[in-house]
Amino acid sequence: MAWKIIGINLSGIVISCTLIAFLIFVVLPSFYLISYIFLRWDEVWYEVFANPITGDENWRQIIMILLFSFKLSLSAVAFDLVFGVPLAYVLARKKFPGKNLLEDLVTLPLVIPTSGFGFATLITWTSSSGLSRLFGSTRLLSMNTAIPLINVPFILFIVHVALTFPYLVRTVETKIQSIEETYEIASRTLGASSLTTFRKVLLPLSIPGIFSGSVLAFARSLGETGATIIVSGVSTTASIAIVRWASEFKLSTAAFMGSLLVLIAWIMILPVEIYVSKNRRSSWRHLHIPTNLSMKIIKFERFLSRKLSIVKDIVPLIIVVILIIIPVVVVISSVTLYWSADPYTGRVEGGVVYQLFGPSRYLDLILRATLTSVIVASISTYIATCISIPLSFIIERRRYGHVLRTMLKVPLIIPTSSLGLSVLLLWGASGLCLVNSGIWMIILTHIVFSVPVIVESIIAAYEGSGVQMYEETARTLGANAYSAIEAVSLPLIKGGIFTGFILSFTHSLGETGATLIVMGRDTTIPVLVVNMVEALAIPAALFTSTYLIVLSLVMLVIIRILTQG
């Protein structure tokens, strides 16, 4: 019986240690950020609203920047919805050769370091070695060419679309997959055309998925930093503003903006969370359409279904090609173009080789940044995994688990620069004063968003493999609680743990926004790309971006293999 007494204590210790680590590392920073505003309200008031020199200039800037960010994010999500939902449907329902490849391509922006991707897009559209080579002009677009009506720079818009697209597509795809195909078959055999079926059957059923996908995409767009900082030109988004203010030591203004973003994210997400969790089927009932009009719509849809069935398959595909494949190809081809010398001026100084090995010694920087990135990614992912495994078990088995799971959504939806700022404020000189900016603070920051990523992956594996049943069987066969977990549960969810590990490792390798704020003098590779672009060392940036993209492609292949095997 002795082990039992120890056993009970042991499980108590494991649970409390996990929960404490979770609260301190993951939850505390974002709460601290908001409380910072209240604790130091005087400072915030002074800096934002009542500066003796500039008055409330900062406040007016905040409003302007927020409005711009909202416009950008909303238009990106709107675009995602129009083209992402059909693509999600195609991916969820159709089987065709190359489907896996298409799925990987859509997921690529999730894996690819955003600063590298942003740079690739920039090169593609605005430089002479990009798409303009096809059309013969020297430059297709300028960095600030705006889209009419919404007045958002084109480059910024397409980067945000590409980076948010996977969130919407994958969420809706999963939702559609969970809806039985029988409903659609029933509707079709009852005489509805495919478009009518989609509108009247599939769409109402997948509304929760579309909602949560849009919210994720919106939050992602609002918080995007790495690519935005490269392509934004003169425009400023909210997350970039935070980075800039933090680097100018305007901590109070940055914190104020950061907590505004956190609050806005929450205000947008909570209703959707509640709506989705109530699992209501449809909110369209109040939408009354007169019968003769709806007859016309149905007739029109029947006509369209016949004519346009290919369009719905092809258009999203073209968008994927334009937004994702072309930039990747262009950046890789540009490296070869710029390899030995600048192709236009013929100067050796403008070549990749010279910049890497020449007097500026960018190779050294790249190698050092790689080392930093790998160390950060390894340590933060390792610690996050250690917290995540017991945390996932607690979430699955304890009654308060769903509360923990909702708390885990915080780091996923708040802008990364706010997240970095919160870690800086909590652990840094103005907070607990335990850690200085630098590699250790980067690690602390990366733990925050790694835990949710790994936990989600483990929970998916846990719920998909019927762990509880196997574990109970093991118990009745004579295994105690710990050996049952060791011999049965852990091997069963092994795949989920590995996938989570790789995902979080990749995420950590590519993170820019938060890292920029907390890095101090240490640099990771994505930040290095930003620095190179700012220093106008384009060939070096090309090389580093390619290097990052190749690295993330390798990761993607590993994920593919793991999730299939």
List residues near other proteins by CB under 8 A. 4, 465-466, 469-470, 472-481, 483, 487-488, 491-492
Q: How far apart are CA 479 and CA 472, in angstroms?
A: 9
Q: How far apart are CA 351 and CA 345, in angstroms?
A: 10
Least separation, in Å, of the C-beta of 471 and other proteins?
Answer: 9
> Which residues, other chains included, contact 473 with Cβ-Cβ below 8 Å and sequence gap of 6+?
488
Least separation, in Å, of the C-beta of 493 and other proteins?
Answer: 10
Least separation, in Å, of the C-beta of 473 and other proteins?
Answer: 4
Q: Which is nearer to other proteins, 469 or 557 (CB)?
A: 469
- Containing 354, the helix (H) or strand (E) segment is helix 352-357
Q: Which is nearer to other proteins, 477 or 536 (CB)?
A: 477
Q: Which is nearer to other proteins, 413 or 474 (CB)?
A: 474
**Sign of the C-alpha dihedral computed for residues 153, 161, 533 and 249 taken in this order:** positive
> Which residues, other chains included, contact 281 with Cβ-Cβ below 8 Å and sequence gap of 6+?
204, 205
Least separation, in Å, of the C-beta of 177 and other proteins?
Answer: 22
Q: Which is nearer to other proteins, 11 or 128 (CB)?
A: 11
Least separation, in Å, of the C-beta of 97 and other proteins?
Answer: 27
Least separation, in Å, of the C-beta of 472 and other proteins?
Answer: 5
Q: Which is nearer to other proteins, 60 or 398 (CB)?
A: 398
Beta bridge partners of 51: 55
Q: Which is nearer to other proteins, 5 or 190 (CB)?
A: 5
- Containing 20, the helix (H) or strand (E) segment is helix 2-22
Could you give the angle at the alpha carbon of 445 between the alpha carbons of 444 and 449, nearest 5°?
115
Least separation, in Å, of the C-beta of 466 and other proteins?
Answer: 8
Q: Which is nearer to other proteins, 371 or 490 (CB)?
A: 490
CA atoms within 13 A of residue 450's CA, in its CB half-sphere: 34
Could you give the angle at the alpha carbon of 340 between the alpha carbons of 339 and 344, nearest 5°?
90
Least separation, in Å, of the C-beta of 7 and other proteins?
Answer: 9
- Containing 147, the helix (H) or strand (E) segment is strand 146-147
Q: Any idea what DSSP says for residue 55?
A: B
The radius of gyration of the chain from alpha carbons, rounded to an integer in Å, stands at 25
Q: How far apart are CA 516 and CA 522, in angstroms?
A: 10
Identify residue 56 by its one-letter amino acid code.
Answer: D
Least separation, in Å, of the C-beta of 400 and other proteins?
Answer: 16
Q: Which is nearer to other proteins, 159 or 493 (CB)?
A: 493
Q: Which is nearer to other proteins, 439 or 467 (CB)?
A: 467
Q: How far apart are CA 526 and CA 513, in angstroms?
A: 10
Q: How far apart are CA 332 and CA 320, in angstroms?
A: 18
